Amino acid sequence: MTSSDPATPAGAEDLPKSFSVHAVTGLPEFHHGDDLVGHLPALEDRDIVVVTSKVISKIEGRLVAVGDGEEERQRAREDAITGQTVAVVAQRGPTRIVRNQLGLTMAAAGIDASNVPNGVIALLPEDPDASARRLRAAIRRRLSRDVAVIITDTVGRPWREGLVDIAIGVAGITPLRDLRGTLDTHGHPLAVTALAQADEIASASELVRGKVGSVPVAVVRGIPWQDGEVAASSLIRGGETDMFSLGTRDVVPATASGAGAGIAAPQQIEAALAAVPEVDGVSTSYAAATIAVHSRIDSFETGVYVGKLLVALRAEGLIGSVASRDPVQIETTVAAAYQGRPVP
């Protein structure tokens, strides 16, 4: 559908009357270089094969050796989390919600010490979309079956208890079922209705795979899917659309972290200035990466304003520092609380 088409009429969704989800049981413990395709059950064309990222990690050798004992294991896990972390989003006690190198925001960067043998912990696959494409191609080549592949991981949610599975890699199936422009049965446009069908299928498959580790593969049969080349990484929300790039309680501490790298964009500075509640007697202007705060109020009150402004800058991904005092000049750079990596 192009943007000039009339809205798709109601009923245009290609939905199944029913579908089924099947556990693939009896699989062996997998190791680096093992053959998953050879262990799959009979598949049908248009099946969706759903595989945990843990099995892919084992087959791809994404395991890190750790010492014996639960304590050493946990310390190695903490180190691995730090290594995979691109940005700490929120931290509260021992819980670290981070954005990892795949762009996924999850607790512990997706590093997992369960369902792996003693002496190792598992990193996520290096490129789960590529892993999914390889598995799909191997199934086509060796089993002559046209299937879609979804690779899953388990995540928490900010406002919901309990974990669910999501799709971190896909091949074949388009991750979003996009209904924007479609009319409902009453003729109203569905304004923002793009369904994350790959995540929903991942969640459905978890219900037969479970978490104790003996069922890492499921087959979903009966869901119509369009061939596509859109990666699961397209489901990652970032930039302007990420309203939760830092936790509520992490914005202020983040003002202390890291040096800046790169130049602040005007829209970031404008957003930060707009966020700070107005104070009578204070006006601001900016040129390039320098904000001038013109104040006719006393130094303390000006400082309160500047303190809030420094936090608002951090919320926009900027580091601000006070460079001069009359008028107050704040120099901004793009934040690099990203373990040394500049924001793209």
Element (H, E) at 56: helix 53-59
Q: Which residue number, 125 or 320, has a Cβ lying nearer to a second copy? A: 320
**Is the separation of the CB atoms in 50 and 40 below 8 Å?**
no
Q: Is 230 in the site for a second copy (CB under 8 A)?
A: no
Positions 88 through 107 that interact with a second copy (CB under 8 A): 90, 92, 97, 99, 104-105, 107
Q: Is 340 in the site for a second copy (CB under 8 A)?
A: no
Pick one of 194, 263, 288, 323: the residue that binds a second copy (CB under 8 A): 194
Nearest to 316 by CA among 302, 337, 294, 301: 337
CA atoms of 281 and 344, how far apart (whole Å): 37
The residue range among 123-131, 253-261, 280-288, 333-341 that interacts with a second copy, by the rule CB under 8 A, is: 253-261
Q: How far is the CB of 191 from a second copy (least distance, A)?
A: 8
Nearest to 55 by CA among 150, 158, 188: 150
Q: How far is the CB of 243 from a second copy (least distance, A)?
A: 4
* String marking each residue 2-21 x if it binds a second copy according to CB under 8 A: --------xxxx-xxxxxxx
Q: Output the CA torsion sign for 97, 267, 176, 130.
A: negative
Pick one of 37, 64, 113, 130: the residue that binds a second copy (CB under 8 A): 113
Q: How far is the CB of 137 from a second copy (least distance, A)?
A: 25
β-pairing verdict for 148-157 and 48-52: parallel
Q: Is 323 in the site for a second copy (CB under 8 A)?
A: no
Pick one of 6, 162, 239, 344: the residue that binds a second copy (CB under 8 A): 162
Q: Is 245 in the site for a second copy (CB under 8 A)?
A: yes
Q: Is 312 in the site for a second copy (CB under 8 A)?
A: yes
Query: What is the number of other CB atoms lying within 10 angstroms of the CB of residue 307?
Result: 13
Nearest to 30 by CA among 117, 113, 134, 129: 117
